[in-house]
Chains A and B, each alone.
Chain A
């Protein structure tokens, strides 16, 4: 706690004075990322890269061990008809499913990410959130996706949110921490920027747009704003922070636009699944269908791909 207090004292000036965001400028810049001409060979490379950056996700009340096992199998065998495909980066599940997922992906290089801190609402007391996180870590989670208390944030209790993130970071131990801002509930890009800075200074390894339960989710405007926060932090400190847009990225085209954006804003160093992820459930199949289209020359049908 003492350490967190120090951290807070040191960084308060930074995270409480986030720069304002020029919304019109963001929209224009984002529109330009979507006009890049990507040639076939680069597109194929981009698609395979996107596959390797996916956090294959199932976060439903109806999740069962069977569903999680099936998804873990899919994470390692995206489309066996196509040799040479990468695996996804991680599978993302609820804490209660971590043990099962961990066992299923053992030895494959696929990480297990677990949501925590009373996902998706985050409406629980701090000690519950700590327990939730510790449980997931103890079960074997390699990565923790926490949600921030949006209610507190919107009420202006930034210090509370800072403390919360710093505390959860401690509870994570060696697991990497992704902080979900749930931008769909933050209303403005200024808030998105402020929350990004807050999360970064409080100790996030990754910042993530959304839970996937609220619309709008990972719009390019929001992702761009968060990438700029990462860039400014890197320019200032030399420390890299990861980015994970999640929710609403269901087509290859959108994924490629995002990769273009990351490359142009942060540079090639971020183009690996150590620093960039897509949180998605249906993106993988669309990317696979595009890759098959490139290989066979004919448009594909989801009938011939495994259910996601």
Chain B
């Protein structure tokens, strides 16, 4: 007797759980050949709200973790993703990539995760500074994560774009709510499964699928979102995000990099979602001949 294939249910990822969308709605994106990719959750504004709450809840613990430990955990994502390599390649091919391009994209994704894992305990030393001031103060500036970062993933890639935007934000101690590429959502959900098996605390990365047009306003007006990273290519959508962001003075960053390039990574992607805090510490003299330090 012929065996029936067991198909995967693509769900969203909120607070370390895989619920279906609260709205119960689905959509069925198709690839170029007209083949349905699957029934994908069409998330609603309440899913966005739940994801932001989960991200906020996870922020304290994640940002206070030792930087080195964050690096270890992020490295673990790369390890887990390596083990799922074939699944990602298959999904990328189903969504229209050639086999070669799919393999390259997965390789680059793993390398990029390792790259940002390495940055976790190093960017602080480069971004922060000790500042010369003309008063009796030890004056220093340190980088602190902004908080909850909304990530609108690029529309034209399924995996590498999303990872390139999410990793620098969590590397810096932020937590994220990701809106996956609407028409290429498969790898986003599988990436959530990888994250879930990688020691990343629930709520640090939350991934929603569905219509960006529908979710963008909720994400960008939400008072508890501190920054938005936009990877899309739609000037009007970006304008809407920027206007909504005014409500609570969110930072908005828009990137149009070609993420498939090996050099589309770097320290500034991390430092963008960092706030600089400067402290004036009263002290008589530092570094001079009379300094007792």
Tell whether A237 is near chain B: CB-to-CB under 8 Å: no
- Alpha-carbon distance between A302 and B222 when the two chains are bound, in angstroms: 11
- Alpha-carbon distance between A304 and B247 when the two chains are bound, in angstroms: 12
Are the CB atoms of B248 and A299 closer together than 8 Å? no
- CB-defined contacts of A4 to chain B, threshold 8 Å: none
A-B contacts, 13 of them at CB < 8 A, read A298-B221, A298-B223, A299-B49, A299-B218, A299-B222, A299-B223, A300-B223, A301-B222, A301-B224, A302-B224, A303-B223, A303-B224, A304-B223
- CB-defined contacts of B221 to chain A, threshold 8 Å: 297-299
The size bracket of the interface on A is under 10
Residue of A nearest to B247 (CB): A298
Residue of A nearest to B223 (CB): A301
Instruction: Tell me the residues in window 266-308 of chain A with beta carbons closer than 8 Å to chain B beta carbons.
Output: 297-304
Tell whether B52 is near chain A: CB-to-CB under 8 Å: yes
Number of interface residues of B (CB under 8 A): 10
- Alpha-carbon distance between A303 and B49 when the two chains are bound, in angstroms: 16
Q: Chain A nearest CB: distance from B246 CB in Å?
A: 12
- Determine which residue in A300, A301, A303, A304 has the highest number of CB atoms from chain B within 10 A of its CB, and name it: A301
- CB-defined contacts of B222 to chain A, threshold 8 Å: 298-299, 301
Instruction: Tell me the residues in window 11-50 of chain A with beta carbons closer than 8 Å to chain B beta carbons.
Output: none
Residue of A nearest to B248 (CB): A301
Instruction: Tell me the residues in window 67-89 of chain B with beta carbons closer than 8 Å to chain A beta carbons.
Output: none
- Alpha-carbon distance between A304 and B49 when the two chains are bound, in angstroms: 17
Residue of B nearest to A297 (CB): B221
- Alpha-carbon distance between A300 and B221 when the two chains are bound, in angstroms: 9
Instruction: Tell me the residues in window 7-63 of chain B with beta carbons closer than 8 Å to chain A beta carbons.
Output: 49, 52, 56
Q: Chain B nearest CB: distance from A233 CB in Å?
A: 40
Contact pattern, A 175-203, Cβ under 8 Å of B = 1, otherwise 0: 00000000000000000000000000000
- Determine which residue in B52, B218, B223, B248 has the highest number of CB atoms from chain A within 10 A of its CB, and name it: B223
- Alpha-carbon distance between A302 and B59 when the two chains are bound, in angstroms: 14
6 new A-B contacts at CB < 8 Å, known A299-B49, A299-B218, A301-B248: A297-B221, A298-B247, A299-B221, A299-B224, A301-B222, A303-B224
Instruction: Tell me the residues in window 185-234 of chain B with beta carbons closer than 8 Å to chain A beta carbons.
Output: 218, 221-224
Contact pattern, B 85-106, Cβ under 8 Å of A = 1, otherwise 0: 0000000000000000000000
Q: Chain B nearest CB: distance from A82 CB in Å?
A: 15
Instruction: Tell me the residues in window 264-286 of chain B with beta carbons closer than 8 Å to chain A beta carbons.
Output: none
- Alpha-carbon distance between A303 and B248 when the two chains are bound, in angstroms: 10
- CB-defined contacts of A304 to chain B, threshold 8 Å: 223
Residue of A nearest to B46 (CB): A299
Q: Chain B nearest CB: distance from A147 CB in Å?
A: 31
Name the 6 nearest CB pairs between A and B, nearest first. A301-B224, A301-B223, A298-B221, A299-B222, A300-B223, A299-B49
- CB-defined contacts of B224 to chain A, threshold 8 Å: 299-303
Contact pattern, B 227-250, Cβ under 8 Å of A = 1, otherwise 0: 000000000000000000001100
Q: Chain B nearest CB: distance from A99 CB in Å?
A: 36
- Determine which residue in A299, A300, A301, A304 has the highest number of CB atoms from chain B within 10 A of its CB, and name it: A299
- CB-defined contacts of A300 to chain B, threshold 8 Å: 223-224
- Alpha-carbon distance between A183 and B49 when the two chains are bound, in angstroms: 33
- CB-defined contacts of A298 to chain B, threshold 8 Å: 221-223, 247
- Alpha-carbon distance between A51 and B247 when the two chains are bound, in angstroms: 26
Instruction: Tell me the residues in window 111-146 of chain A with beta carbons closer than 8 Å to chain B beta carbons.
Output: none
